[in-house]
A = this chain, B = another copy of it.
Amino acid sequence: MEYPAVAPARRGELSDRRVLVVEDDPTVLEVASAYLESAGYLVEVATDGFAALEAVAARRPDLVVLDRMLPGIDGAEVCRRIRASSTVPVILLTAMSATEDRIDGLEAGADDYLAKPFSPRELVLRVQSILRRSVTELTPEAAIERGPFALDPAARIIRRDGRELALSVREFDLLAFLLKHPRQAFSREQLLHAVWHWDFGDLSTVTVTVRRVREKIEDDPTSPTTLVTVWGVGYRLDL
């Protein structure tokens, strides 16, 4: 079996957490964003301190990756101002591993640090580690009600006509994704990427999981009316 370049988010944590990356170096920004996205996060970016503060207020990310050295306001100062109005976890990227910076960072209220140059994998690991534990700071995902289906992401429950469906982790994640994007056709590759966070792999994995979901939501699984096949393309959820 083949593995993606970065460890995928853990099961049950595939929810679309938003991470704000604040970095003025385009190269670093590009690399960090790519790795975080491939780990399943929605990445938003800002290239200076003011934009960062605006983004935190407006977009309410679940976590902030913040460069210590920024044009305009200093990173630690940005961190302090974020702290003045928010408890969002902050990972500070420091130029050196000097204790001076570390103390400043602690003082500014950062939750973790990473000395540059840093490994993008390690960044992903730290982000995952913090988000895995966080409970209260996370913005709760909104419940969705569409057609006969009701999705409660926090409880990890999907109901159909009020009855709770007995779904496994994969089945839940797949159906939840489709419920968030109804009436839209997705290829197997797209689903493998969006739900499994795999960059490559056996596409029949998707086929079989679709089959299993159908078994639980279709009145007649042999002729689906809700999770339909789009021939030559993939699948679509009709409501």
In angstroms, Cα B108 to Cα A87, docked, is 26
| B132/A190 in contact, CB under 8 A | yes
A117 contacts B by Cβ under 8 Å: no
A106 and B125 contact, Cβ closer than 8 Å, known pairs A184-B155, A185-B154: yes
Tell me how many residues of A have a C-beta within 8 Å of chain B: 49
A26 contacts B by Cβ under 8 Å: no
A24-56: CB near B (< 8 Å → 1, else 0) gives: 000000000000000000000000000000000
Give which listed residue, B181, B189, B232, contacts A132 with CB less than 8 A.
Answer: B189
| A132/B109 in contact, CB under 8 A | yes
B-binding segment of A65-73, A133-141, A209-217 = A133-141
A83 contacts B by Cβ under 8 Å: yes
In angstroms, Cα B233 to Cα A193, docked, is 21
Question: 7 new A-B pairs (CB below 8 Å) besides A12-B185, A154-B185?
Answer: A11-B233, A12-B187, A83-B132, A87-B135, A103-B125, A134-B193, A154-B183
